[in-house]
């Protein structure tokens, strides 16, 4: 959980000891993320978010860092592009590591392959300074985010629904397209 939160907002100051961070192999990346942790509104949003909302935040962060890297490559600011792409890659790896194969191994394998594709595109973009690879990754990330948003909305409706029965899916074209991307 701490790693996922660190990807979005950086370490929570009260739960981290400076001497541990300095000796940690992730010390550089954690120090880079501390600026975001200084935003109390974002920190509170993350700490109070549901697991579904956290996943959306991870997608948002990955898209944001990828687009920042794209802009940096176009400006030939390769240090910034490397930093942003590395953050996006870490988010993808956290999402992949969070997959629970015991719940639905077939679905997890499909999602893992999407995450693998995204990770490889971001690595290629970093190595080759390739904005087209970033564009490919962002395109897929936006589809996945949209799919996840539909899921979040359905879960919220189901939770809010009196009697606990699941809400019947509508015939909305966006939902059909999003469920297609989630299932194959």
- 142: domain CATH number is 1.20.120.340
102 part of a folded domain:
yes
In a domain, 39, yes or no: no
Arithmetic mean of pLDDT, 117-141: 97
What would the mean pLDDT of 144-161 be, rounded to a whole number?
90
Question: pLDDT tens digits, residue range 86-115?
Answer: 999 999 999 999 999 999 999 999 999 999
For residue 162, the model assigns a pLDDT of 52
In a domain, 27, yes or no: no
In a domain, 26, yes or no: no
Residue 151 lies in a domain: yes
Reply yes or no on whether the pLDDT at 76 is more than 90. Answer: yes
Q: What tokens appear for 74 in the block? A: 């176009």
The backbone torsions φ and ψ at residue 26, rounded to the nearest 5 degrees and listed phi first, read -95, 15
Give the model's confidence band at 11: pLDDT under 50 very low, under 70 low, under 90 confident, else very high: very low
Give the torsion sign (CA, 156, 44, 178, 113): negative
Per-residue pLDDT reduced to its tens digit, 15-38: 333 232 233 333 344 444 444 467
> Structurally, how many domains does the chain consist of?
1
Whether 96 contacts 112, CB under 8 Å: yes
| CB contact set of 66 (below 8 Å; sequence gap of 6+) | 84, 85, 88, 122, 125, 134, 137, 138, 141
**Band (167; pLDDT cuts 50, 70, 90):** very low
- Separation CA 119–CA 106 (nearest Å): 20
How far is 62 from 56, CA to CA, in rounded Å? 10
Q: For residue 16, what pLDDT is reported?
A: 30
Domain that holds residue 129: 49-183
Q: What is the pTM of this model?
A: 0.69
Residue 1 lies in a domain: no
Q: Is residue 171 part of a domain?
A: yes
Per-residue pLDDT, averaged over 109-137, amounts to 97
- Please state the rounded mean pLDDT for residues 74-95: 96
Q: Rounded CA gap, 125 and 118, in Å? A: 10
Summarize the confidence of residues 136-152 as an average pLDDT: 95
pLDDT at 166 over 60: no
For residues 34-50, average pLDDT = 73
What values do phi and psi take at 171, rounded to 5? -95, 30
Confidence of residue 134 (pLDDT cuts 50, 70, 90): very high
The average confidence (pLDDT) of the chain is: 76
CA dihedral 149, 150, 153, 155 (to 10 degrees): -110
* Most confident option among 1-10, 56-65, 165-174: 56-65
Residue 148, domain member (yes or no):
yes
CB 52 within 8 A of CB 27: no
Distance, in Å, from the CA atom of 60 to the CA atom of 65, rounded to the nearest integer, reads 9
């Amino acid at each position: 959980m701490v790693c996922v939160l660190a990807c979005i907002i950086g370490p929570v100051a009260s739960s981290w000891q400076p001497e541990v961070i300095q000796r940690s192999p992730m010390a550089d990346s954690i120090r880079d993320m501390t600026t975001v942790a200084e935003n109390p509104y974002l920190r509170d949003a993350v700490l109070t978010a549901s697991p579904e909302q956290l996943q959306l935040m991870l997608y948002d962060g990955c898209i944001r860092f990828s687009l920042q890297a794209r802009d940096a490559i176009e400006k030939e600011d390769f240090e910034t592009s490397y930093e942003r792409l590395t953050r996006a890659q870490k988010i993808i790896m956290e999402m992949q590591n969070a997959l629970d194969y015991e719940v639905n191994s077939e679905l997890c394998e499909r999602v893992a392959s999407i995450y693998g594709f995204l990770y490889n595109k971001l690595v290629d973009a970093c190595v080759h300074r390739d904005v087209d690879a970033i564009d490919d990754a962002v395109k897929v990330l936006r589809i996945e985010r949209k799919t996840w948003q539909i899921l979040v909305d359905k879960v919220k409706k189901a939770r809010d629904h009196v009697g606990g029965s699941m809400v019947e899916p509508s015939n909305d074209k966006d939902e059909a397209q999003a469920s297609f991307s989630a299932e194959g």
